[in-house]
Structure 1
């Protein structure tokens, strides 16, 4: 089964889980996180790439909403890091790296979006949409 054909509550729950994992990784005290041998900006770009691809896979008909949400999460993370004292530093360059991840996700997912938009959107309640049987 394709991810976007899952029931909407399940898709929302899966995306909420992905968002919660990302928020934990970005907001937990740095001493509690595993060490990764990537530059901080690469970590941000990769994380937002995964978040955006997850959103696009679960809801390919809402690309602008997925991009806007991912961007908003990036801004929220930096504001939260600025306000918290867990050894995390707010850096607006991280938001730029998040945007790189979002853009790369769209580049990678563009062929799938084109295909998804060319297909009819699945109906949530087919009995409410009678078809013409002429």
Structure 2
């Protein structure tokens, strides 16, 4: 089985760029054009940034700091775009807080996974 971090670098960058582009479109599209998850906006933000962080780590596990920093900056940029884009969306500082929660959860999962992985392999 080929693990994602073993893909050639251009493929990994392309996959991550695709994930970022999809998230960007979802976040700036008019909200009435998007289905509701039923979990609420904050949950959706936290879940999306969790997935973005985990995807980044799966594709580039050595980028321990770059992945969460990029995700947090991207979250702030999204809120800035929502503030000026004429799509009916609005910026909300609590969305950034939800993004931070999602990124922190993703980092926590990776820390635990890195701690457990050597123990699982020895067993």
Query: TM-score surpassing 0.5?
Result: yes
Report the structure, 1 or 2, having the larger helix content.
2
Q: Which runs of 4+ in 1 moved over 2 A?
A: 111-116
Question: Equivalent residue for 1:95?
Answer: 96
Aligned to 1:63, what secondary structure does the other structure show? coil
Indicate conservation of the 8 Å contact 1:60/1:113, yes or no: no
Query: How far apart, CA to CA, are the structure 1 residues paired with 2:116 and 2:7?
Result: 18
* Higher radius of gyration, 1 or 2: 1
CA contact (8 A) 1:44 1:94 kept: yes
Map of 2:72 onto structure 1: 71
Q: Deviations over 1:58-77 (max 9, x none)?
A: 00000100011000110000
SS of 1:69 mapped into structure 2: helix
1:59: which partner in 2?
A: 60
Shift of 1:49: 0.2
Structure 1 residues not aligned, in runs of 5+: 117-134
Question: Residue 131 of structure 1 aligns with which residue?
Answer: none
Quote how far apart the aligned CAs of 1:111 are: 3.2
Give the TM-score, by structure 2 length.
0.89
Moved more, 47-56 or 27-36: 27-36
How far, CA to CA, are the matches of 2:112 and 2:44 in structure 1?
Answer: 25
- Residue-pair matches, total: 117
